[in-house]
């Protein structure tokens, strides 16, 4: 698929066919995430791949949408937080004003993943409105690892709607705000 087509074709898929996703495709998608740029090349994230079969009830606690647990695969991007002590170097980049970039780095990698999935004919949806406690329990996350976003992955069983976006003039300023 042409890159411009990938960008146009991606949409939030909220219905998935009960068809497994090939392991090769999952690997290709994860490789796209691995190649993403990160601040200082610190790559401060982990991806947890969940095969949903048999985990539907736990997944319903993580996110209420019934379509969520019906995706055959769900990938959770997790950020590695600040671990800067005198003994340990920082595992992610912190701006001079204290802004931590691990969520941003994770989002860039996830966008690579999502676009790679689109290119392979797979559907995805960014899911940020999840229950953090339930997610921590399901994934057995260590205390210092932060779940950022869940991405259900599977073959779409719905059709894209109209894209509602602000006009470009509202989003862009030239030379100053």
Ligand X SMILES: Cc1cc2nc3c(=O)[nH]c(=O)nc-3n(C[C@H](O)[C@H](O)[C@H](O)COP(=O)(O)O)c2cc1C
Site of interaction with ligand X (CB under 6 A) = 11-12, 125-129, 149, 163
Enter the tokens of residue 143: 């205390």
Q: Which is nearer to ligand X, 126 or 155 (CB)?
A: 126
- Report d(CA 145, CA 66) in Å as an integer: 26
What are the residues whose beta carbons fall under 8 Å from the beta carbon of 5, sequence distance 6 or more?
Answer: none
Q: Which is nearer to ligand X, 93 or 150 (CB)?
A: 150
Q: Which is nearer to ligand X, 159 or 173 (CB)?
A: 159
Integer angstrom CA distances of residue 92 from 38, 42, 82, 140, 147: 9, 6, 6, 22, 15
Residue 105 C-beta: closest distance to ligand X, Å: 14
Q: Which is nearer to ligand X, 54 or 167 (CB)?
A: 167
Residue 169 C-beta: closest distance to ligand X, Å: 20
Dump strand ranges (E) for the chain: 45-51, 73-79, 123-124, 146-154
Q: Which is nearer to ligand X, 48 or 107 (CB)?
A: 107
Residue 149 C-beta: closest distance to ligand X, Å: 6
Enter the tokens of residue 145: 């690892």
Residue 30 C-beta: closest distance to ligand X, Å: 19
Q: Report whether 108 contacts 116 (CB < 8 A).
A: no
């Amino acid at each position: 698929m042409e890159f411009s087509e990938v960008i146009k074709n991606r949409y939030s898929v909220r219905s998935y066919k009960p068809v497994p996703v090939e392991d090769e495709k999952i690997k290709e998608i994860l490789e796209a995430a691995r190649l993403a740029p990160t601040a200082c090349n610190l790559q401060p994230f982990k991806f947890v791949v969940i095969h949903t079969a048999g985990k539907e009830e736990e997944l319903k606690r993580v996110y209420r949408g019934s379509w969520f647990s019906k995706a055959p695969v769900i990938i959770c991007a997790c950020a590695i937080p600040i671990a800067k002590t005198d003994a340990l170097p920082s595992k992610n980049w912190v701006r001079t004003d204290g802004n931590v970039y691990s969520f941003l780095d994770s989002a860039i990698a996830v966008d690579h993943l999502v676009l790679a999935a689109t290119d392979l004919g797979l559907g995805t949806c960014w899911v940020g409105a999840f229950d953090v406690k339930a997610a921590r329990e399901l994934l057995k996350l260590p205390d210092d690892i932060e779940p950022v976003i869940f991405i259900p992955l599977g073959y779409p069983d719905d059709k894209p709607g109209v894209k509602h976006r602000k006009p470009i003039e509202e989003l862009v300023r030239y030379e100053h705000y």
